[in-house]
Structure 1
Amino acid sequence: MEHAQNDSPEAGSKRTWLVVNPASGSYDDAAFEALCECCTQNAIDLDRVIRFPEQDKLPTAAELDAAGVDFVTIYTGDGTINALVTGLYGWSGAILILPGGTMNLLSIRLHGDVETPDIVARVGKGDFRKERPCVVRCDAGDALAGLMVGPGTAWGEVREAMRDMDIVGFATQAVTAIGESAAGTKVRIAEPRVGKEEGYPLLVLTPEQGTMSVAAYHSETVGDYAQQGVALLQRDFRKGPHDDLGQMDAMTIELAAEAGTSTDEVLPTLIDGESAELPRRARFTVVPCEVDLIVTEAQA
């Protein structure tokens, strides 16, 4: 279940550090300037701007406490958000996550599908609360926005090339992704036994309120690959052909093939868009985030 804090934040607590990632393909100078102006208009003091990783490292809990910062604001993609949030586990402050990436799944979950000025205005008025929404945990880390497992994670590289407007890279990675999805060792849910026994190229686990939704993606025909391409052009390859396998609070995923002679067989994994590797059989659970996030929507 969600772990909401009982103490309501005061509108006067508006001193923040802002984390941005200028190297991100979704970063925009004009949008950054507009955000700074929006904070000023809503009486939020940007005490410091951290340009990660270009100039600065991510702040630590000790640094934030020493500076008397009430909350940290982050305007980046999922990968940097994950690094900041998990790096601040145990901190007594809170984190405001703004839609600064391509898909902004976590921001939408916390604030609804609204623009940055609306979120900042709510915070400026004190119209927010602190909560610890659920994340998906495995031995490789915690996923706040989503976790993907299987050879189909190669489609994530296609999305990155597309985001960076790398046409050659897009074409190259698309060919690789099709090959991996078709020929790579599929993955299946071993516990509980749901879905196809022969497995899928990609399983996507998305944390929700007290649970995680599970979607199994398949690319078995030319038509499937065409649908995947259309989904990419719409900036969301999750819209590709898939089966919804329901809601779970824990599961074990394994390679669908029998163990071979190789000792380095792994589960290819993307945690909030960042590559990771797990053993050929791994456990995934739903747990509460270990630091407060700022929520301005009715449901997190």
Structure 2
Amino acid sequence: MNHTQDTAIRPATARSVSRAGVVINPNGGSVPADGREIIDAVLSGMGVPAHFEIVDHDCEAACQRVLEQDVDIIIVWGGDGTVACALNTLRSDDPPVLPLPGGTMNMLHKFVHGADLDPGTCLKTVLENPVEMDIAAGEVLEHRFYVGALLGGLTRLAAPREALRNADLLQAVTEFGEANAFGLDTPMRCLSDTGARQDAQALGIFLSEDPARPGFDVLATAPESLLDLAYTGLTGLLADWRNAWGVERGFASRVDVEALESSGIEATLDGEPVTLPRHARFTLVRKAARVLTARGT
């Protein structure tokens, strides 16, 4: 695998869209109930027939069903996790993915399309002038992620965060209490290829937000008290963890993480929970997937 080439935005090669595959996750944080009708109206107005698949509980299966159709592009309307699932399901010679923002954070969509995240605008702009973009990913063991990985006890905040997204405050409080996210029992050591070394209770390994500078933004926090960790955790619940208080930052293309007092590492990769072994290496895949972007060339 070539790790010397930078992430690139380049015009698609004489691409004409004659038929689109559409994967919609109705459980996305901002996908409306009439999402299929909205997309169908836009595509019909542009003369593009489509095959639709609605995600129930298995995003990968929905993507596989779309691949069985003769399509030129695959439109994926959902959050970061839905798009990551689609990208991990597809092979390099499969049609490129057009991600439409349908989640709460939409961090991958912001990276791909820029500031304008109106789904209809993204769709029309891409169909009028398809532009292909190679995007990077992080890889640990055989898992790939396109936004970021969170490691440590704060990953237990995933459930209460989802409850808050659904405006279920009571459920959020219940999940928060059961998560025990503030247990200071997850010490880790992080060593990057730049030589930086950090000890932390929580780590974030995020893909760079700059397409011209692929790599990892490495965030670490080692709070001195439960109150400090609580503040960081609540910031992560309500906003981007990168903006949390008390976080040290670094940049790398390879990161080795070791759990100091446990046999495994609690983690979420693009929001999906996974348990990693005690020693885990995160590497950068500079050209991991092809997407269609609403950015200009």
**TM, length-normalised to structure 2:** 0.83
Partner of 2:97: 95
Partner of 1:200: 200
Partner of 2:188: 187
Query: How many residues are paired up?
Result: 285
String of CA shifts for 1:174-197, please: whole Å, max 9, x gaps.
2345x333322222203455354x
Deviates more, 1:274-283 or 1:145-154: 145-154
Of residues 225, 229, 232, the one that matches 2:234 is 229
Of residues 38, 43, 57, the one that matches 2:42 is 38
Deviates more, 1:271-280 or 1:11-20: 11-20
Please tell me the residue identity of whatever aligns with 1:232. Answer: L
Is residue 2:297 matched to residue 1:294? no
- TM-superposed CA distance for 1:10, in Å, is 4.2
Is residue 2:31 matched to residue 1:27? yes
Q: CA RMSD in A?
A: 2.8
Q: Distance in 2 between matches of 1:245 and 1:130?
A: 31
On the 8 A contact 2:137/2:288 being kept in 1, the answer is no
Ranges in structure 2 where 5+ consecutive residues have no aligned partner = none
On the 8 A contact 2:154/2:233 being kept in 1, the answer is no
Percent identity between the aligned chains? 21
Q: Distance in 2 between matches of 1:174 and 1:70?
A: 44
**TM, length-normalised to structure 1:** 0.83
Ranges in structure 1 where 5+ consecutive residues have no aligned partner = 260-264
Is residue 2:54 matched to residue 1:51? yes
> How has the CA–CA distance of structure 1 residues 157 and 184 changed in structure 2, closer, same or farther, with 3 Å as cutoff?
farther
- TM-superposed CA distance for 1:84, in Å, is 1.3
Please tell me the residue identity of whatever aligns with 2:39. Answer: L
Please tell me the residue identity of whatever aligns with 1:119. Answer: C
- TM-superposed CA distance for 1:55, in Å, is 8.9
Please tell me the residue identity of whatever aligns with 2:167. Answer: M
- TM-superposed CA distance for 1:59, in Å, is 3.0
> How has the CA–CA distance of structure 1 residues 243 and 298 changed in structure 2, closer, same or farther, with 3 Å as cutoff?
farther
Partner of 1:119: 122
Q: Distance in 2 between matches of 1:44 and 1:247?
A: 45
On the 8 A contact 1:188/1:255 being kept in 2, the answer is yes
- TM-superposed CA distance for 1:28, in Å, is 1.8
Q: Distance in 1 between matches of 2:252 and 2:36?
A: 38
String of CA shifts for 1:129-188, please: whole Å, max 9, x gaps.
2122110000150001111111211122221121233323311232345x3333222222
Q: Distance in 2 between matches of 1:161 and 1:155?
A: 10
On the 8 A contact 2:135/2:289 being kept in 1, the answer is no
On the 8 A contact 2:7/2:134 being kept in 1, the answer is yes
On the 8 A contact 1:156/1:273 being kept in 2, the answer is yes
